[in-house]
Amino acid sequence: MVERKGVVTAKGNPLTLLGGEIKAGDKAPDFTVVDNEQKPVTLKDLKTKIKLFSVVPSLDTPVCDLQTQRFEAEAAGVPGDVGIFTFSMDLPFAQSRYCGAHAITKLKTLSDHREASFGRAYGVLIKENRLLSRSIFILDGNNIVRYVEYVKDISTHPDYVKAVAALKQIPV
Protein backbone atom coordinates (compact mmCIF):
# COMPACT_ATOMS: atom_id res chain seq x y z
CA MET A 1 0.00 0.00 0.00
CA VAL A 2 1.32 3.41 -0.99
CA GLU A 3 1.93 5.75 1.96
CA ARG A 4 1.88 9.51 1.34
CA LYS A 5 3.40 11.31 4.32
CA GLY A 6 2.69 14.95 5.16
CA VAL A 7 0.20 15.48 2.32
CA VAL A 8 -2.38 16.61 4.85
CA THR A 9 -2.33 17.77 8.43
CA ALA A 10 -4.69 17.97 11.40
CA LYS A 11 -4.30 21.38 13.02
CA GLY A 12 -0.77 21.53 11.64
CA ASN A 13 0.25 17.99 12.66
CA PRO A 14 1.37 15.89 9.65
CA LEU A 15 -0.65 12.79 8.75
CA THR A 16 -0.01 9.81 6.48
CA LEU A 17 -2.50 8.95 3.75
CA LEU A 18 -2.78 5.37 2.52
CA GLY A 19 -3.41 4.80 -1.17
CA GLY A 20 -2.36 6.59 -4.31
CA GLU A 21 -3.33 10.14 -5.26
CA ILE A 22 -6.34 10.54 -7.53
CA LYS A 23 -6.06 13.26 -10.17
CA ALA A 24 -8.51 14.90 -12.56
CA GLY A 25 -8.66 12.78 -15.70
CA ASP A 26 -8.24 9.46 -13.85
CA LYS A 27 -10.80 6.70 -14.18
CA ALA A 28 -12.57 6.57 -10.80
CA PRO A 29 -11.58 3.45 -8.87
CA ASP A 30 -14.24 1.06 -7.62
CA PHE A 31 -14.92 0.53 -3.93
CA THR A 32 -17.27 -1.30 -1.59
CA VAL A 33 -18.90 0.64 1.24
CA VAL A 34 -22.20 0.18 3.09
CA ASP A 35 -25.34 2.30 3.12
CA ASN A 36 -27.47 3.16 6.14
CA GLU A 37 -29.16 -0.25 5.92
CA GLN A 38 -25.70 -1.93 5.95
CA LYS A 39 -26.08 -3.09 2.34
CA PRO A 40 -22.95 -3.14 0.19
CA VAL A 41 -22.62 -0.29 -2.32
CA THR A 42 -20.09 -0.11 -5.15
CA LEU A 43 -19.35 2.62 -7.67
CA LYS A 44 -21.59 0.96 -10.27
CA ASP A 45 -24.48 0.93 -7.77
CA LEU A 46 -24.50 4.74 -7.71
CA LYS A 47 -26.97 5.27 -10.54
CA THR A 48 -26.68 9.02 -11.05
CA LYS A 49 -24.81 10.23 -14.09
CA ILE A 50 -22.67 12.80 -12.27
CA LYS A 51 -21.40 12.17 -8.74
CA LEU A 52 -19.95 14.46 -6.08
CA PHE A 53 -18.15 12.62 -3.29
CA SER A 54 -17.87 14.70 -0.12
CA VAL A 55 -15.42 12.92 2.19
CA VAL A 56 -15.33 13.71 5.92
CA PRO A 57 -13.52 12.28 8.96
CA SER A 58 -16.70 12.06 11.10
CA LEU A 59 -20.19 13.52 10.81
CA ASP A 60 -20.16 14.25 14.55
CA THR A 61 -17.54 16.99 14.30
CA PRO A 62 -18.32 20.67 13.59
CA VAL A 63 -16.58 21.08 10.22
CA CYS A 64 -17.87 17.72 8.91
CA ASP A 65 -21.38 18.62 10.05
CA LEU A 66 -21.25 21.97 8.25
CA GLN A 67 -19.74 20.39 5.12
CA THR A 68 -22.51 17.80 4.96
CA GLN A 69 -25.25 20.35 5.55
CA ARG A 70 -23.72 22.66 2.91
CA PHE A 71 -23.75 19.91 0.27
CA GLU A 72 -27.29 18.92 1.32
CA ALA A 73 -28.33 22.51 0.59
CA GLU A 74 -26.38 22.55 -2.68
CA ALA A 75 -28.08 19.30 -3.77
CA ALA A 76 -31.41 21.11 -3.98
CA GLY A 77 -30.07 23.54 -6.58
CA VAL A 78 -28.11 21.16 -8.77
CA PRO A 79 -29.92 20.42 -12.03
CA GLY A 80 -30.09 17.10 -13.81
CA ASP A 81 -28.96 13.63 -12.90
CA VAL A 82 -26.48 14.51 -10.13
CA GLY A 83 -25.90 12.57 -6.93
CA ILE A 84 -24.13 13.88 -3.85
CA PHE A 85 -22.64 11.30 -1.50
CA THR A 86 -20.92 11.79 1.85
CA PHE A 87 -18.34 9.16 2.80
CA SER A 88 -17.04 8.67 6.33
CA MET A 89 -15.89 5.94 8.70
CA ASP A 90 -18.95 6.51 10.88
CA LEU A 91 -21.07 3.43 11.47
CA PRO A 92 -24.24 3.22 9.37
CA PHE A 93 -26.31 3.61 12.57
CA ALA A 94 -24.58 6.90 13.35
CA GLN A 95 -24.98 8.10 9.77
CA SER A 96 -28.69 7.28 9.82
CA ARG A 97 -29.14 9.05 13.16
CA TYR A 98 -27.24 12.08 11.85
CA CYS A 99 -29.36 12.27 8.68
CA GLY A 100 -32.57 12.08 10.72
CA ALA A 101 -31.44 14.69 13.22
CA HIS A 102 -30.38 17.15 10.47
CA ALA A 103 -33.11 16.46 7.88
CA ILE A 104 -30.57 15.17 5.36
CA THR A 105 -32.69 13.77 2.54
CA LYS A 106 -31.05 14.75 -0.76
CA LEU A 107 -27.51 13.48 -0.32
CA LYS A 108 -26.70 9.91 0.68
CA THR A 109 -24.28 8.91 3.42
CA LEU A 110 -22.03 5.90 2.88
CA SER A 111 -19.85 4.17 5.47
CA ASP A 112 -16.35 2.88 4.76
CA HIS A 113 -15.96 1.41 8.26
CA ARG A 114 -15.81 -2.26 7.24
CA GLU A 115 -12.99 -2.49 4.73
CA ALA A 116 -11.70 1.07 4.24
CA SER A 117 -12.10 0.23 0.55
CA PHE A 118 -13.02 3.77 -0.50
CA GLY A 119 -10.29 5.30 1.66
CA ARG A 120 -7.57 3.13 0.15
CA ALA A 121 -8.86 3.42 -3.44
CA TYR A 122 -9.10 7.23 -3.31
CA GLY A 123 -5.97 7.77 -1.22
CA VAL A 124 -7.78 9.33 1.74
CA LEU A 125 -7.37 6.73 4.49
CA ILE A 126 -5.46 8.29 7.39
CA LYS A 127 -2.97 5.77 8.75
CA GLU A 128 -2.69 7.33 12.21
CA ASN A 129 -6.40 7.14 13.13
CA ARG A 130 -8.20 5.09 10.44
CA LEU A 131 -10.44 8.02 9.49
CA LEU A 132 -10.96 9.50 6.04
CA SER A 133 -9.21 12.72 5.09
CA ARG A 134 -11.44 15.64 4.12
CA SER A 135 -11.69 15.77 0.34
CA ILE A 136 -13.97 16.28 -2.65
CA PHE A 137 -14.15 14.20 -5.84
CA ILE A 138 -16.45 14.89 -8.79
CA LEU A 139 -17.05 12.21 -11.43
CA ASP A 140 -18.65 12.63 -14.84
CA GLY A 141 -21.09 10.24 -16.52
CA ASN A 142 -18.24 7.93 -17.57
CA ASN A 143 -16.83 7.85 -14.02
CA ILE A 144 -13.86 9.96 -15.04
CA VAL A 145 -12.67 12.17 -12.20
CA ARG A 146 -13.20 15.81 -13.22
CA TYR A 147 -12.40 17.58 -9.94
CA VAL A 148 -10.31 16.71 -6.89
CA GLU A 149 -9.61 18.58 -3.69
CA TYR A 150 -7.55 17.04 -0.91
CA VAL A 151 -8.08 19.59 1.87
CA LYS A 152 -4.60 20.41 3.18
CA ASP A 153 -5.63 20.63 6.85
CA ILE A 154 -8.51 18.32 7.70
CA SER A 155 -9.76 20.69 10.39
CA THR A 156 -10.65 23.25 7.70
CA HIS A 157 -13.39 23.44 5.07
CA PRO A 158 -13.06 22.49 1.42
CA ASP A 159 -13.52 25.16 -1.26
CA TYR A 160 -17.30 24.85 -1.65
CA VAL A 161 -17.58 27.55 -4.30
CA LYS A 162 -14.94 25.96 -6.52
CA ALA A 163 -16.41 22.46 -6.09
CA VAL A 164 -19.97 23.54 -6.93
CA ALA A 165 -18.73 25.56 -9.92
CA ALA A 166 -16.84 22.49 -11.18
CA LEU A 167 -19.93 20.35 -10.66
CA LYS A 168 -22.11 22.70 -12.69
CA GLN A 169 -19.63 22.75 -15.58
CA ILE A 170 -20.01 19.03 -16.28
CA PRO A 171 -22.63 18.44 -19.00
CA VAL A 172 -25.54 16.33 -17.78
42-79 pLDDT, tens digit per residue, is 999 998 899 999 999 999 999 999 999 999 999 888 87
| Beta-strand pair 40-42/135-139 | unpaired
Fold of 15-169: Glutaredoxin (3.40.30)
- Give the start-to-end residue ranges of the domains of the chain: 15-169
Using alpha carbons, select from 160, 123, 135, 162 the residue that is nearest to residue 2: 123
The one-letter amino acid code at 162 reads K
pLDDT at 1: 87
pLDDT at 114: 97
Contact 34, 145 (CB under 8 A): no
pLDDT at 82: 93
Residue 139 to residue 148: CA distance in whole angstroms: 9
Catalytic residue among 34, 55, 64, 126: 64
Residue 116 to residue 121: CA distance in whole angstroms: 9
Query: Which SS3 state, helix, strand or coil, does residue 32 take?
Result: strand
Query: Which SS3 state, helix, strand or coil, does residue 44 take?
Result: helix
Annotation marks residue 99 as catalytic: no
**Ranges of the chain whose pLDDT falls below 70:** none
Residues whose CB falls within 8 Å of the CB of residue 59, separated by 6 or more in sequence, listed in order:
65, 68, 86, 88, 90, 94, 95, 98, 109
| Beta-strand pair 13-18/32-34 | unpaired
pLDDT at 79: 74
